[in-house]
Structure formats: C-alpha cells, structure tokens
A and B are shown apart, each in its own frame.
Chain A
Amino acid sequence: PVLLLEPVPQNPGPQNEYDLLVIGGGSGGLACAKEAAQFGRKVAVLDYVEPSPQGTKWGLGGTCVNVGCIPKKLMHQAALLGSALKDAQHYGWNIAQPVHHTWSLMAQAVQNYVKSLNWGHRVQLQDKKVKYFNMKGSFSDPYTIRGLTKAGKEVSCCVISAILPVCSQIAGALEYGITSDDLFWLKKSPGKTLVVGASYVSLECAGFLTGIGLDTTVMMRSIPLRGFDQQMASLVTEHMESYGTKFLKRCFPTKVEKLESNRLQVTWKNTDLGTEETDSFDTVMWAVGRAPDTEALNLEAVGVKTNSETGKIVVDASEATSVPHIYAIGDITEGRPELTPTAIAAGKLLAQRLFGQSSELMDYDNVPTTVFTPLEYGCVGLSEEMAVRCYGSDNIEVYHAYYKPLEFTVAERDATQCYMKVVCLREREQRILGLHFIGPNAGEVIQGFALGIKCGATYPQLMKTIGIHPTCAEEITKLHITKRSGLDATVTGC
C-alpha cells in the first residue's frame, strides 16, 4: 500500500524535504524505499496502523509481515505439524496420547517472531538512512502531506493504511466479529469458529484452525476461490471437508447476536433450501474481501484517480497515477495481483526507474502463487477455464494426473485430492499456458516451473526433463494422459 511523491525539478516552491516519500510501510513500500536509498536519495517512509474495530494493531512491515503471509504460514505449519504427529505414529514413533494443542503457546511464538521482523525492518531502514515516521495523514496539496501523530500534532508528512478487511454490514458484524487483522494477535484460543467467506484468506484460516483441533465452519455465499481454477478450488474444499472443516454452502449470514454465555449466535439464510438456520460460536471471523482505505488519504483533493467500483488507485504500466509525481504499487492498485512478491518487485523496479536510469517495467504475467490450505494448491499461468475462454477448447490440451505422495503411503493418508494438470496450446510447439498442482509443499513445487514458463516452456520440453525420484514434483514431468482421451489419470507404480 504505497503512494509516492517525487519532486518535479521545475517546482519553484521551497526545497522539498525528500526526494521520495513513501506512504505505507508494507512489502511494496519498504522495498521501494530501500532501493531508492541505495541510489543515495533522501527517502522517508510513513507507516501507521489504524487499530482494527476490535482494537488490534501492529508494527512496521505491513499486512504480509503482521497479519498476512507470515503469521498465516506459521499457523498453517502448526496445523501441518498436527498431521505430522499422526503420521509419525505410523512411522514408528510412540507418542503417548493425549496430544493437544495450546493456542496461546503458538500465538505467542508467532507474535514474537513477527515482532522481531518489525524490529528488523526498523533497523534496516535505519541502516539505509531512510527516515521512518509512525504517523497518519492526508494530502493537503499535491506536494505536501499533512501528518498526524498519535497525539494529533501536525507535521509535514503522513501515512495511510491502504487495504483493510471488509466487514459485513449486517447487525452485530462489526461489534462481535473479528477479521484476519485480529486472528493472528488473539491471546486466547478462538474456540468454535465460524469463518465467513470463500476467499483464500477464509479457507487458509479455516484450514489451520481445523488442523489445530478447533471446531471450524466455513460459510460461503457461492463459489470458493473466485478467480482461481474452479476444478482445483473444488478439490481444495473437498479435501478440507474430509479433513474435518464443516462447510455451509450457498449460505449467507443475516445477523450476529451475543448470548449470555458470551458466545455468538449467528443466523443465516440457506439459499438452496430457502430456510433460515442458526448456531452458536465462540468466534465469528469475516473473510469476505479486502478494500482500500483511500478516503483517508484525501486523494480527490490532489486529483489521483481511483476506480469507482473498487476504490483502488488506477495506474499505468509504470505504476504512475493520474498525477505525474504520484505513483502507487501493491494491493491498493487496480488490476494487479494482490501478492507480496509482486509489490516488492514492482517497488524495486520503480525505484530503479526513478533514480537508477533503468527502463524496465514490471511484468505481471505468469505470476505464480500458492494457497496454503491444509492440502496446498500452487499455480502459475491461466486457469483451464480462462485458457478455454482465450483460445477455445479445441485449441488447448490438458494433461492431468491423480497421484499419491510417497510419504502418504506408510502414513495411510487419503490422497484423493492430490492432483495436477498442465494446460497447453495444442498447436505446434505446445506452449504451456498454465500449471496447477495440489499436494504437499505446493509452493516449493511450482516455483521452478514458474521460471520455466517465463522462459516459454513447452510441453515437449517438460517431457524431456528427467524427474527427481522420489518426489511429487516429478509427476509433472511425466504428465501424459489428456482430459480429452477420457482415460483414467491415476498414476500407478512406484
């Protein structure tokens, strides 16, 4: 979440204090600031966290570090270790029952690590001589930011928080519900939890809550993981169901009330059955999307255009907004993937273009990503439906396979949803359009292949690559059954 200022040399006004002012100390902002500082520029970063409705706040580093990728992956790991404990017994480890999980031990460990990262970022900024202000503010004119410290004093610069979880508008939602902004900082276990939403945030959180032993339900209004390959999305949710997460499909909540016991009573409508249902939970978490907080910035006053529907800032291929010296990168920009690595890369390249004579633009194509649900889903490139839409089903070929990770065999784990597919053009060189993998360590598997796709990898090149044995990833180099053939796509043999 970043807005940047750059002085126009012809500005007749007083000397600008900084060459670059970065608003938002998240993945993109920090990357850009540090890169610009390498070129000897005077850079300042403004970062301020508006407390969540429940009062949660955090330090420097943005969403990823504090309430996103990092705590998410660590809690996901805690859940995976729960499965590992079960597996271990099949592999000969004698663990006396009962085994149980204590939320506060995990939360404290995760929170401590996040705090060390906050500290690390502050030290890094200091080392690179980037000035850091923990303050909030808005544009007062195109070259000046009015800042408000916690005490409300006016200073000459400011900060915004770009993108926040959206809360439902129904009765009781804001008062009694939490979001991902709060979940990772809870001191006590959330207990029996209802997660409302079908985004990856919803599924990832519901996944690890289930994994650490909590009674967890996901309420989805329509389809899971909108925007992702829908066949893969179904496999992900199917696995979660067999893993123990409960699903309320095609339902939406109508009200949340607090009971005497302090539990929350949620009422919802089931659109399939046309009925109204109700149940009580200890925690209700909203994961129904994220929206930018651009109002606080006062962008209108300086003429920065935003998308009327989403509220996100409109930028061109060089991350420039409608105002020449103001740029934007990261989740707050319209039409960009909302991912940490893209924000970081875009931030670095922007700094290199502004101060380092580079002209390289950010390439937003074929950005790989991974959904860290209990059975992970990694992908790069087009979904099957998008490929069909772009090229026509006659012009694409999908090779696929159901496989079983070797480690699941002795552990007697169900591998029904372990699946992969590669979507290629059918003609001539058979260029790969998309690769999708569900299984353990999906991120590790996909990363190298994303690189291959960047190099224009074709299906024959994939087939020429020899597999590493025994791994899950090698199955990608052995994909040979097409969907078109209708043949059984289950991998047999060792």
Chain B
Amino acid sequence: MKNLLNMLKVNGMLGNSEAAKYEKKVMVLDFVTPTPLGNSWGLGGTCVNVGCIPKKLMHQAALLGQALEDSRKFGWQFTEEVKHNWMTMTESVQNYIGSLNWGYRVALREKKVTYENAYGEFVGPHTVKATNKRGVEKLYTAERFLIATGERPRYLGIPGDKEYCISSDDLFSLPYCPGKTLVVGASYVALECAGFLAGLGLDVTVMVRSILLRGFDQDIANKIGEYMEGHGINFIREFVPIKVEQIEEGTPGRLKVIAKSTKGNQIIEGEYNTVLLAIGRDSCTRKIGLDKVGVQINEKTGKIPVNDEEQTNVPYIYAVGDILQDKLELTPVAIQAGRLLVQRLYAGATSKCDYVNVPTTVFTPLEYGACGYSEETAVEKFGEENIEVYHSHFWPLEWTVPSRDNNKCYAKIICNIQDNERVIGFHVLGPNAGEVTQGFAAAIKCGMTKEQLDSTIGIHPVCAEVCV
C-alpha cells in the first residue's frame, strides 16, 4: 500500500507535530526494539520512557529521602526507621510515563499526524518499509524524511553482559528492587543512577575505567565524585569488568563480577544483586537502510553528519537529535532543532537552531548546572592568560540548620578578558542547579559581561545569588 506523504518521521519522538500545523501530511513511525531482557515501552522516545523523566522522578525520590532526614532538624517528628519501597515508586513513575505516552498519541491524532508502531527502514529512494510487531510489512513514500532514531545503551561485549546485566533501558521499570548494585561507567547516566539508587538506601558501587564525566569540566566532575563518595557510594577506579556470572537466579538474583585493572594484571571479584551498564550509547543508524538511499554516516560512531540546517548529504533526508554528529545529546536541543527545521521547510522561516551555549544539568546527588566552556576548554581555546575565573564555595541556607555539607557547593564563572570580560562559562554545583542555570544561560545568550553580572542585585536568601 502506497501513501504519498509530505513528511515521514522514522522512529521518531516528540516535538514534531510542528509539520502538521502547516497542513502537511505527516506520518510518524516509532518502534522500540526490546532490550536483551525483553523490555519495551510506548511512544515518546528515550527522554519520556527511559531518560530524563523517570530519571528526574527517581532523583526526586532520593532527594526526598534526604529531605526526610533534614526535616527532623526543622522540628518534624516521626519514627526513626523509614524505609523506601521500590515498587511503590516505580509504579507511580511508570503510570506517569504511561500518561505521557497516551498524551502523545492523542496529540498526534488531534494534529492529524498518522502514527504507526512499526520499525521503519529505507528500501529505496523516497520509500520506507514499516514492519510492525507481528511482522506485517507496509511500504510508504514521502517527499521528505526526518530520521530521529536516537540511541540505545552499549554493552561491554564480555561473557554474561546481555544475559545478566541491565541498562538504563531496564532500570526505570524494573519490577523488583535492584538491591546491591554495581554501576559500570562514569557517564552522567552512570553517576545519576548510582546517585539516586544510593539515595534510596541501596548499597551502590561505581566502577570507572578512567575519568568521571568525560567532556564536562573536570574540576567539577571530581567534586561530584568526592561528594558521592562522602555520601556512601563506593568507587572502584581504573578497573573494567571482564566477566559476569550468575550465582543465583532471583528478583534480584546474585551475580559475580570479575574485573581487571587498566593499569596492570590485578583481578578483583565482587558480588552484587544487579549490574547496571552505563558505558555509553550507540546510534540506531546501522539497520535502517541508510545505505539504500546513500545517506552517509560516520562508520566508526554511527552518527550522521548534517549541515547547519539538519540536512544529510541526501537533500530530501534530514536528521535531528542524539544521532547527529558533533551535536549535544539533549532533549531540548532535539526539540528546538526539529521545530525550527519544520518552520524553515514549510513556513518560510530562516532561523536555525543555535547550538552554542546550550545549558545542561547533571542530576547527581549534588546537582551540576553548566553553560558554555569548561575551564580546561576555555584555557585551550583562549589561553590561560586571557581568561579569568571567579569562584566561590557556598552553603545553602537550608543546609545550615541540619548542619550538613558545609563548603561543598560551588560556583564558578569563566570570563574572556580580551572580550570585555564576557562570561563564556558558567558552572554551579548545588541544589536546584537546573533552575539556577537556566536564567544564566539566557543572560549568556545576551552576551553578558562580568560587569553586568556584578551590577545585578541578588535575590536573598537563595543559592543563585552567590553567582551575582
């Protein structure tokens, strides 16, 4: 069956009912290949189902655990023993996600976007084959295509990894408490998950091959690691797992992990209920028939290079999101890029997505918000003598009464001396870092200088005022 469509989104996500606004015939193909352990989910992509949303909710659950302890110092009285129930939390989180999946289906329907739960792959010019769960195939043609297939967690390639280990794709809907957990990796996914699991009262170990949060400001990355260690999370540095064995089946079961040092021949063993792999994500670009239509990809990384209008080397095929080469893997970036792309294609707009100074936040137990250059990248680009770094530790007022974590929070601003002390990097480590950072990102977009920062009055008493 052939349908002529204006635009077809292959394995797509939210934010693209934009095209339908301009009365174009749009179809979205979305399909989730089950995880090695058989997990799958509904419409909405990574962010909604196995990323930002459940992550932030579980992070919130962990923060509430801390709030419970703080509240005693503020006069609240209740039983000493407070335990966390994984199933109660997970069910609530999954129910909310379910409502989002449903909401997207309704929104697509209202905007008259055709949605099919089918795996899309190119079979020839302007033609895509869609295969649903039951193996039924259909062919569709369209004037233009948008690839937004995203990524999936990478596995280690060692014995036992796919059989016994879980990934973030499994964690947020795990139907039992993970128990004593080993998190393998040093990405923000690894640290955020390790962080909230520990906050819920679980025994957590993080196994790190080399550095933490590669690509992020390393000074801050180390502070994050220190904070997590100070709060009971074990770190095993400079080791990689080489084998995972099952000692006992169960929910959770018991696993033995054998790891080797990256610096020598030392071998260590450990027993855990759950092993969570968070060593990176791979683009879903290798099995969607890109070779059939001549779309170039980076063979090594699988990422798709695009021009500044999100166009691949094939003029009628575009791409957005995590699969893009040299772009940030963030939901808001994907949404913005997608929306502006459609406005350019169908509404005569000319605005391109501005990928510079995109703010982000790592939701570790001590949150980290950043916008612009890290200190090391600034030094590399501008030279140490041309940048000035202003910094300060601070103690959130709310932590004084419970007497915790004095001098752990930190803020730093990096300025370009040669350009009127323009602020080129903003970093804050502390509670509500995302809320704090957002406004500063807007100010950086306005080209703020140190002088303007100094002349802005603080709001008192809040954490953010330490930055002005």
Contact = CB atoms under 8 A, between A and B. Distances in A.
Contacts of A378: 459
Contact of B462 (A78, A110, A367, A443): A443
A320 to B, nearest CB: 21
A422 to B, nearest CB: 11
B447 interface: yes
Interface in A445-465: 445-452, 454-458, 461-462, 464-465
Nearest to A98: B78
Interface string A40-54: 000000000000000
Contact of B397 (A73, A456, A458): A73
Nearest to B398: A77
B284 interface: no
Interface string B426-468: 0000001011111111110111100011011111111111011
Contacts of A464: 354, 445
Contacts of B459: 341, 368-370, 378, 443, 446-447, 450
Nearest to A94: B83
Nearest to A64: B460
Contacts of B93: 410
Given A94-B84, A469-B332, 19 more contacts: A74-B74, A77-B398, A84-B71, A88-B68, A90-B92, A96-B79, A100-B77, A100-B78, A101-B75, A102-B76, A102-B77, A443-B464, A444-B436, A451-B453, A452-B445, A455-B447, A457-B446, A471-B434, A494-B52
B71 A85 contact: yes
Interface string B326-351: 00001111001000000000000000
Interface of B: 14, 44, 47-48, 52-53, 56-57, 60-61, 64-65, 67-68, 70-71, 73-79, 82-90, 92-93, 96, 100, 103-104, 107, 200, 330-333, 336, 354, 358-361, 369, 397-398, 400-401, 432, 434-443, 445-448, 452-453, 455-465, 467-468
Ranked 8 nearest A-B pairs via Cβ: A448-B439, A106-B75, A92-B89, A473-B438, A447-B464, A443-B462, A448-B440, A449-B439
Given A74-B397, A77-B74, A457-B443, A91 B462 contact: no
Contacts of A370: 459, 462
Contacts of A8: none
Given A101-B77, A109-B75, A473-B435, A93 B65 contact: yes
Contacts of A445: 435-436, 438-439
Interface residues of A, number: 84
B75 A103 contact: yes
Contacts, number: 295
B64 A93 contact: yes
Interface in A398-427: 406-407, 409-410
Contacts of B200: 92
B74 A450 contact: no
A247 interface: no
5 contacts: A87-B64, A88-B68, A92-B84, A444-B435, A462-B442
A470 interface: yes
A70 interface: yes
Interface string A275-309: 00000000000000000000000000000000000
Interface string A3-38: 000000000000000000000000000000000000
Specify the main secondary structure of chain B where it touches its partner: helix
B441 A455 contact: no
Interface string A365-376: 001111000000
Contact of B465 (A77, A107, A447, A467): A447
A492 interface: yes
Nearest to B355: A466
Interface in A468-492: 468-474, 476-477, 492
A342 B457 contact: yes
Contacts of B434: 468, 470-471, 473-474
Contacts of B400: 74, 113
A369 B461 CA distance: 10
A47 B178 CA distance: 59
Contact of B75 (A78, A410, A466): A78
B339 to A, nearest CB: 10
Contacts of B68: 84-85, 88, 93, 95
